[in-house]
Structure 1
Amino acid sequence: MTTTTRSSVRRESSSQSQNGAAAGSKHELEQQPSPNSKRSKKGDTIPSPTEAYGDGKHIPRPSRQKTESNANGIGAKPEKKTTDQDQNQNGTAEQTGARNIPIPSNVLEKGLIYFFTRGRVGIDEPHSIRDIRRSYLVLRPLSQDAKLGPGTIADAGTSRLIAIPKKVLPLSGRDRWVAFVEKSHASFQVLKDEFLSAEDYTTETAGVRHSPAAAPVAEGVYAITTTGRESHLAYMVTLPPELGEVQEELGIKEKGSFVISTRNPQYEGPKGAALPQGPEYPKDIQDEFRSLRWSSTQPKHLDYANTQLLLVGESSGIEKATTTPASPSSTKPQKGQEGGYGDGGGKQPVAEELETLEDEDTHRMQGLPGDDADAIFADLKACAGEHLGLRTTF
């Protein structure tokens, strides 16, 4: 088993890259997927794109107004800009208001993403994908106009814990499976106490059982984007600097994305993948689904526990996810226009923002003491000594 250190050779800035029971036991699915399954082509009964999104007509546009559930302040006007010099006084690497370039309008949310796994009961150190019980994503949203400076991120109490029962991320359009929001509006303390830590518990039949601690396998930045009809979750990995066997087996890429949809809780979930209880959406969110079984995911959906998500792989990397849809009425800066993304290099504005954020995150994580796991747990305000290191090999 190999763990990574940030003293190892790190790849250059992303712009130069050549590569375009604990928490899980509290929301059990009615039928667990087979631990032998790595990337089943058939899997659960999953809708086609037309079944998921309808005929493409009357697709609701994401609201640009700050809603009550939008607790991370996306779209809000900053009261004060911050600089590298005063970030320590604010106690966070998130420098709200410091991004002085307009963010592409089809970026619904951006932030930091952490990838975790948890071994099966009694297995602290998995030796293969079969030994992993479940994979997780932790999303920590950032303000739209924020950049990343040095230091750790503050606990805004807006993190989401997303469970992936299939254990691996979808890689192509043939890979379609369900995930769900395990926790929403989670503080780092809640994540530490109810997710990251190991737990021993007693059952009447088996006696004392051991649920292992969650182990980090990657960290990076993400953006939830819309291409008009679909939503995508695109990410770029910062740690580990070089992906290994573990990341490859889990479907984690240096640059990756998947289509992400939200199930209408008024309909039953896919066979064998239904949750005992659905999300409690307010009426305005529920009404947006109309009669559709699935709708393109909006960030506000992730603010409700038990939200069920459909992940569909994309073999093209982040290309589709970062394509800005054509809009004659758009007022955002276009390619070559001064004062915005897309001034050169032929890159899409969304891709440029994501790469800029990843470059900032790379410098930020390099400045934190210890190895890669130490940096990740420092960000989450947890002690790395109590947990496993970041693995690249089984």
Structure 2
Amino acid sequence: MTTTTRSSAREHADSANGAPPASKAQPGSKHKAEEGAQLPEAKRAKKSDEKEQKTIEETIGGSEQAKREKQEEKPEQEEEITDDTKKGAAKAKKEADTGDAVEPHGREDAESIPSSILEKGIIYFFFRGRVGIDEPSEVDEIARSYIILRPIAKDAKLGSGPIGDAGNSRVCVVPKKVLPKTGKDRWISFVEKTGASFKDLREEFLRSNDYETKTAGTRHTPAATPVAEGVYAITSTGRDSHLAYILTLPDKLGEVQKEIGLKEKGSFIISTRNPQYEAPKNARLPKGPEYPKELLDEFRSLRWAPTQPAHLDYVNTQFLLVGESSGIGKALEPQKKDEKEGKNEPAEELEQLEEEDAQRMKDLSDNDSARIFADLQADAGDYPKLPTTF
């Protein structure tokens, strides 16, 4: 089913329905961001010509003509082969190759970013069908759900094109198949991959896999199926940390998204398990995260601590997701200190990021599946389409 990004009309709809003013800019409006200019690739000095010229000079005893040619060539060489020039050219080439939409330090009002936002970025939701089931027809046919986090700098803004591969993606596993919806739902999840490149995601996570077993013969693990894409922020509200998100794709939630537990705007309380204590019997992993001592010391005697972004950079980190039925409001509450300093509201920050994301995703392709896989530098034809109905 083909869907499109949400239009700015949702802003007026929210106002008419009495939606709470969580931010100065209401959800749904999309702002265009211009594509950043790229640096030209530096020219390289022709070392082979230089070597040939030197040989001629030695042969004819240093003729005046050769000397003049050397003096004319030297300034150009010294200017063009500096380290800074090489680095600039390499950076420009990399940006051209990856189509990186992230504009580092692109925010002119960086000092207004609220301190409660610990991390922000792009979020993707996937699920994988059970063995042998490529297209699940109900939740029970899903093996697991996944959350992919692709962080960006807090003072970055999004321009045009795909997100670009920074090699910092994380794959988080939700064994319960669906996401927690209320405070009664408390799911233990874990980090399966950290520092992953898009190539890693294609080869080790997204694609299907066939393998042989002694008893059942060839078994087929389906490819990962995209469910939604959007923006996220890990926030701190004092005692708790939250994982808040706003969806960009699909434009309208379907049966699949609702069954998985997604909302247009949602959040979870997120806490990290102290690996110095034994995990619950039904949630034990073969190996725990290899935290450095300074990170372990931060847990003190707590069994669970508010999640910090650094926790999610270690494989096998276990974290608790608790549903928040009240929506995104608590996760994006402004802090008194930030209000006194005149900083932006967290809700306003996330809304702005979603507007930038919506514009760039709209330009990537004409359907949601192709947009998501273009963002991840994968061929959409090799993977299931984004479903809205079972």
TM range (shorter): 0.7 to 0.9
Distance 2:231 2:340 in 1: 23
* Helix, strand or coil at the partner of 2:205: helix
What's the counterpart of residue 84 of structure 1? 35
* Helix, strand or coil at the partner of 2:332: coil
**Are positions 1:313 and 2:309 aligned together?**
no
What's the counterpart of residue 3 of structure 2? 5
Deviation at 1:17, TM superposition (A): 5.9
Deviation at 1:14, TM superposition (A): 6.6
Offset from partner CA, 1:112-161 (integer Å, 9 cap, x none): 00000000000000000011000000000011111111100111010000
Within 5 Å, give how 1:44-55 maps onto structure 2: none
Letter in 2 for 1:92: D
Distance 1:142 1:13 in 2: 28
What's the counterpart of residue 37 of structure 1? none
What's the counterpart of residue 214 of structure 1? 224
What's the counterpart of residue 192 of structure 1? 202
* Helix, strand or coil at the partner of 2:108: coil
Deviation at 1:333, TM superposition (A): 3.8
Distance 1:273 1:92 in 2: 38
Offset from partner CA, 1:269-313 (integer Å, 9 cap, x none): 123111111000011001111111000000000000000010011
Q: Which moved more, 1:10-19 or 1:217-226?
A: 10-19
2:174 to 131, 153, 164: 164
Distance 2:363 2:357 in 1: 10
Paired residues in the alignment total 315
Distance 1:110 1:84 in 2: 21
Instruction: Give the unaligned 5+ runs of structure 2.
Output: 21-32, 40-91
2:145 to 123, 126, 135: 135
Q: Is the 8 A contact 1:87 1:149 kept in 2?
A: no
Letter in 2 for 1:119: G
Distance 2:141 2:313 in 1: 30
* Helix, strand or coil at the partner of 2:373: helix
Q: Is the 8 A contact 1:83 1:98 kept in 2?
A: no
Letter in 2 for 1:124: D
What's the counterpart of residue 238 of structure 2? 228
- Indicate how the Cα distance of structure 1 residues 362 and 17 shifts in structure 2: closer, same or farther if over 3 A, else same: farther
Within 5 Å, give how 1:232-247 maps onto structure 2: 232-247=242-257
Distance 1:104 1:320 in 2: 15
Q: Is the 8 A contact 1:14 1:358 kept in 2?
A: no
- Indicate how the Cα distance of structure 1 residues 228 and 248 shifts in structure 2: closer, same or farther if over 3 A, else same: same
User: More helix per residue: 1 or 2?
Assistant: 2
Deviation at 1:205, TM superposition (A): 1.3
Distance 2:106 2:317 in 1: 32
Distance 2:11 2:246 in 1: 11
**Are positions 1:98 and 2:106 aligned together?**
yes
Distance 1:372 1:195 in 2: 20
What is the Cα-based RMSD across aligned positions, in Å?
Answer: 1.8
**Are positions 1:353 and 2:354 aligned together?**
no
Distance 2:107 2:285 in 1: 40
Distance 1:206 1:87 in 2: 54
Letter in 2 for 1:134: R
Distance 1:224 1:351 in 2: 12
* Helix, strand or coil at the partner of 2:187: strand
Q: Is the 8 A contact 1:87 1:95 kept in 2?
A: no
Deviation at 1:15, TM superposition (A): 4.9
Letter in 2 for 1:264: N
Q: Is the 8 A contact 1:13 1:359 kept in 2?
A: no
TM-score relative to the length of structure 1: 0.77
2:303 to 290, 293, 303: 293
Distance 1:301 1:16 in 2: 39
What's the counterpart of residue 82 of structure 2? none
**Are positions 1:280 and 2:276 aligned together?**
no
TM-score relative to the length of structure 2: 0.78
Distance 2:258 2:389 in 1: 10
Distance 1:262 1:10 in 2: 34
* Helix, strand or coil at the partner of 1:392: coil
Within 5 Å, give how 1:249-264 maps onto structure 2: 249-264=259-274
Deviation at 1:325, TM superposition (A): 2.6
- Indicate how the Cα distance of structure 1 residues 331 and 374 shifts in structure 2: closer, same or farther if over 3 A, else same: same
- Indicate how the Cα distance of structure 1 residues 13 and 142 shifts in structure 2: closer, same or farther if over 3 A, else same: farther
Distance 1:302 1:14 in 2: 33
Deviation at 1:12, TM superposition (A): 2.5
- Indicate how the Cα distance of structure 1 residues 291 and 87 shifts in structure 2: closer, same or farther if over 3 A, else same: farther
Distance 2:138 2:113 in 1: 41
Distance 1:360 1:225 in 2: 20
Q: Is the 8 A contact 2:234 2:244 kept in 1?
A: yes
Offset from partner CA, 1:367-386 (integer Å, 9 cap, x none): 01241010100100111000
What's the counterpart of residue 71 of structure 1? none
Q: Is the 8 A contact 1:104 1:332 kept in 2?
A: no
Letter in 1 for 2:103: Q
- Indicate how the Cα distance of structure 1 residues 376 and 332 shifts in structure 2: closer, same or farther if over 3 A, else same: farther
Distance 1:147 1:356 in 2: 9
**Are positions 1:365 and 2:361 aligned together?**
yes
Deviation at 1:84, TM superposition (A): 2.8
